Amino acid sequence: MSGSEVVIVGGGVTGLSAGWWLARSGVKVTVLDKFIVGWEASGRNGGGASHYASPLFDEEQRLWPQMDELLGYPTEHRKGRILIAMTERQWEQYRFIAERHKRLDHPVELLDVKQIQEAVPLAGDNSFGGIHYKFGGHANPQRSVQAYAWALQDLGGKIIQHSPVTGFETAGGKVTAVKTANATYGCDSVVVAAGPQIPQLMAQLGVDVPLAAARAEMIITEPAPMMPLGGVDGHKIYGRQTLRGNLAYGGGPHEWLDVDATGPAARPSTPLARNLAKRLAEMLPKAAHLNVIRSWAGVIENSPDGRPIIDRLTSPDNVVVASMSSVGFGLSPASGHAIRDLVIDGKCSFADIDLLKLSRFDGLEKDWREKRGWMPIS
């Protein structure tokens, strides 16, 4: 495979990590993005990296602590998370989660209010308890995305921004080139990692990829004094204290959207910022005086079961499709590795990822979105 040409459609974390892994294997990589790397969900997310539900979990956990060194650029990765229960019901749920982790041999510890306050001084004495994941963690999405991009370039890969892919050329059951408005890129293989635009792109190859797009929001405060542990979730919100000290948090209801082939027309945030602020002030009462200085939104796609689709097609047989189904930032070191394996070897070398095959949706009812209520508000 060394010396062959792979074109990657989409410069989010998934496409960039895949490109970096491929470049490490000596493959010539070109990443095409419609705008700037990481401009969509990959630069707008919570930075959480604790995806214990995924077959890629072990690889995610193995790689994150090494990523700064492997990439050569800072990602701001930090290990560990704490989950704080603010209601009786949440405490019951979180203890259930802790039990499950114990059963699966993921290191967790139950915390009482005092222990929570030691690790998270912004917490009050109003919580019911918490759990400490001694795995998982968080990183800075914007820095990480750029780190992948730069590392890929350092290995000779190319990134071409401001170049929306408009279609493909095929011959003999293979994609032979990827087209943009201004250029055609010949290729031996293609990776389609275009987030919410995957269905439109894949439809051009006659492949149906069931995905629905939605908008999700976050808020961020001014910096607070650094806490011993920055990966603090709970009270049904997720987020992190950045290494600068800011509290960045998301969660709560999403809005389903239709996104056309050109991508989200806008990514508006809404007054949901107020509901996020309420929960963050409840969970971290000693931060309640901190100023919120921004809010934002990102658009992400979900598959019908909420799990990623990472698969190499049978026809055309040189295409790998990768949608992370709204849980893709943290998994990116591992998703890129899996995509590299599929492109080069046709098979993932480190995990059984059959669960992520597109064929699991064969025979899916046409009205799957309506059935789930995943429809835009009309």
Partner 1 sequence: MELNFTGTDICAVNGTRSAPEARYDVVVVGAGPSGIAAAVEHATAGKSVLLVDENPVSGALMGNDTPLYFGGRMTAATQNSERMLEAIFMSMPDLEKAMDAGAELLLGTTAWGVYRNGPGVASLPDQVVGLADAERSWMVGFGTIVLATGARDLAMAFPGWNQPGVMGAAALQMLLTRYDAFAGRRVLVLGSHDLALETALVAHARGIEVAGLIEVRDAPQGSADLVAQVKAAGISISCGQTIASAKGGIDGVESATLTSGETIACDTICAAIGLVPSIELVDAMHGPRALNPTRGGYIPAGEASVIAVGDCAGLTDSGFDHIGYRMDWMRALTAVTTNDTIICQCEEVTRADLIGIQPPNYLPRPAAMCARSLETLLKDGPANPDQIKRLTRSGMGVCQGRRCRDQVAMLLALETGTPYGTIPLASHRAPVRPLPLKILAEWDEPAEMEAAWDVWFGIPTQWVPVEDIGTPYQDEHREMLYTGMYK
Ligand X SMILES: Cc1cc2nc3c(=O)[nH]c(=O)nc-3n(C[C@H](O)[C@H](O)[C@H](O)COP(=O)(O)OP(=O)(O)OC[C@H]3O[C@@H](n4cnc5c(N)ncnc54)[C@H](O)[C@@H]3O)c2cc1C
Site for partner 1 in 157-186 (CB under 8 A): 159, 161-162
- Any residues with CB less than 8 A from the CB of 367 and at least 6 apart, and which? none
Task: Give the count of beta carbons closer than 10 Å to the beta carbon of residue 374.
Answer: 17
Closest CA to 182 of 160, 198, 158, 201: 160
236 in contact with partner 1 (CB under 8 A): yes
Binding residues for ligand X, rule: CB under 6 A, are: 9-15, 32-35, 39-42, 44-48, 164-165, 193-195, 197, 201, 216, 218, 238, 250, 263, 298, 300, 324, 326-331
Residue 68's binding partner among partner 1, ligand X, none (Cβ under 5 to 8 angstroms by kind) is partner 1
For partner 1, the closer of residues 299 and 344 by Cβ is: 299
CA distance 191 to 30: 10
Task: Report the nearest approach of ligand X to the CB of residue 34 (Å).
Answer: 4
Task: Report the nearest approach of partner 1 to the CB of residue 292 (Å).
Answer: 5
294 in contact with partner 1 (CB under 8 A): yes
DSSP character string of 97-148 = HHHHHHHTT--EEEE-HHHHHHH-TT--S---EEEEEEEEEE--HHHHHHHH
Task: Report the nearest approach of partner 1 to the CB of residue 55 (Å).
Answer: 5
Cβ pair 256, 374 in contact under 8 A = yes
Residue 329's binding partner among partner 1, ligand X, none (Cβ under 5 to 8 angstroms by kind) is ligand X
Pick from 183, 265, 315, 345 the residue near partner 1 by CB under 8 A: 265
CB under 8 A: which stretch of 19-27, 112-120, 150-158, 199-207 binds partner 1?
150-158
For ligand X, the closer of residues 19 and 124 by Cβ is: 19
Whose structure tokens read 């229960």?
Answer: 85
Pick from 156, 225, 253, 346 the residue near partner 1 by CB under 8 A: 253
Residues 88-117 within binding reach of partner 1 (CB under 8 A): 92-93, 96-97, 100, 103-104
DSSP character string of 346-364 = SS-SSS--GGG-GGGGTT-
274 in contact with partner 1 (CB under 8 A): yes
For partner 1, the closer of residues 216 and 344 by Cβ is: 216
67 in contact with partner 1 (CB under 8 A): no
Cis peptide before 316 (omega within 30 of 0): yes
For partner 1, the closer of residues 311 and 316 by Cβ is: 311
156 in contact with partner 1 (CB under 8 A): no
Burial string for 292-316 (b: 16+ CB within 10 Å, else e) reads beebbbbbbbbbbeebbbbbbbeeb
Cβ pair 75, 68 in contact under 8 A = yes
361 in contact with partner 1 (CB under 8 A): no
346 in contact with partner 1 (CB under 8 A): no
Task: Report the nearest approach of ligand X to the CB of residue 37 (Å).
Answer: 7
Task: Report the nearest approach of ligand X to the CB of residue 193 (Å).
Answer: 5
Cβ pair 4, 28 in contact under 8 A = yes
Closest CA to 307 of 56, 136, 49: 56
CA distance 255 to 252: 10
For ligand X, the closer of residues 14 and 75 by Cβ is: 14
For partner 1, the closer of residues 97 and 261 by Cβ is: 97
Residue 41's binding partner among partner 1, ligand X, none (Cβ under 5 to 8 angstroms by kind) is ligand X
CA distance 155 to 149: 10
